[in-house]
């Protein structure tokens, strides 16, 4: 019986160790663009909306979001929940979000891409007007930020210090609300 318990505990510890290791991204030595973060204010083309958001996150240097990132797609139906409101009328082409499932800090970051010809400023004003700093059960965000750049809208709810870093890295035009 003792051998069984010891084997079980060793196996459990081994599985826990493997499961808790962060996923490593192998760096491609031929990829010189990954050496330095690039902000979105440059005329850089991104293959995906997530790549654009990743570049903002990398350039921001915000400690808590640089590791163990879990990006997800936000669809039209879940956009209201994402910004913390009951209803949301704005329409968008795509949205990628970075929001931890479990965290002691209130944090939500999303990048919306709107259809060509859409009223970007009106969309951004609706987002900042309806965003709820108290959308979480146990924590509240200190502040919110919405910025625009072309057909893109950046949305952030977290601490003022982290918002400043993310906003500087993004270089978007801020929308006040």
> What are the two backbone dihedrals, phi and then psi, of residue 107, each rounded to the nearest 5 degrees?
-155, 125
Q: What is the pLDDT of residue 15?
A: 61
The DSSP H or E segment spanning 6 is helix 2-20
Residues in CB range of 145: below 8 A, 6 or more apart: 128, 154, 155, 156, 157, 163, 166, 167, 174
Query: Which of 171, 133, 155, 141 shows the shortest CA–CA distance to 79?
Result: 155
**Positions in the chain whose pLDDT score sits under 50:** 22-43
Q: What is the pLDDT of residue 32?
A: 41
Query: Which of 172, 171, 169 shows the shortest CA–CA distance to 128?
Result: 172
Q: Do the beta carbons of residue 59 and residue 33 sit within 8 Å?
A: no
The Cα 114–Cα 153 span in angstroms is 8
The phi-psi region of residue 117 (left if phi > 0; otherwise alpha if psi is between -120 and 50; otherwise beta) is: left
The Cα 93–Cα 142 span in angstroms is 29
**Which pTM does this prediction carry?**
0.72
Any idea where the domains of the chain sit in the sequence? 41-175
């Amino acid at each position: 019986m003792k051998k069984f318990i010891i084997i079980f505990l060793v196996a459990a510890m081994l599985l826990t160790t493997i499961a808790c290791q962060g996923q490593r991204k192998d760096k491609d030595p031929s990829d010189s663009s990954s050496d330095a973060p690039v902000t979105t204010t440059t005329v850089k083309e991104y293959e995906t909306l997530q790549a654009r958001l990743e570049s903002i996150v990398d350039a921001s240097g915000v400690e808590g979001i640089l590791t163990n990132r879990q990006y997800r797609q936000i669809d039209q139906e879940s956009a209201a929940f994402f910004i913390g409101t009951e209803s949301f009328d704005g329409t968008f082409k795509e949205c990628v979000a970075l929001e931890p499932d479990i965290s002691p800090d209130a944090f939500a970051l999303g990048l919306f891409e709107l259809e060509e010809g859409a009223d970007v400023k009106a969309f951004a004003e609706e987002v900042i007007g309806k965003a709820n700093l108290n959308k979480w059960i146990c924590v509240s965000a200190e502040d919110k930020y919405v910025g625009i750049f072309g057909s893109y809208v950046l949305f952030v709810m977290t601490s003022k210090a982290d918002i400043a870093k993310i906003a500087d890295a993004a270089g978007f035009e801020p929308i006040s609300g």
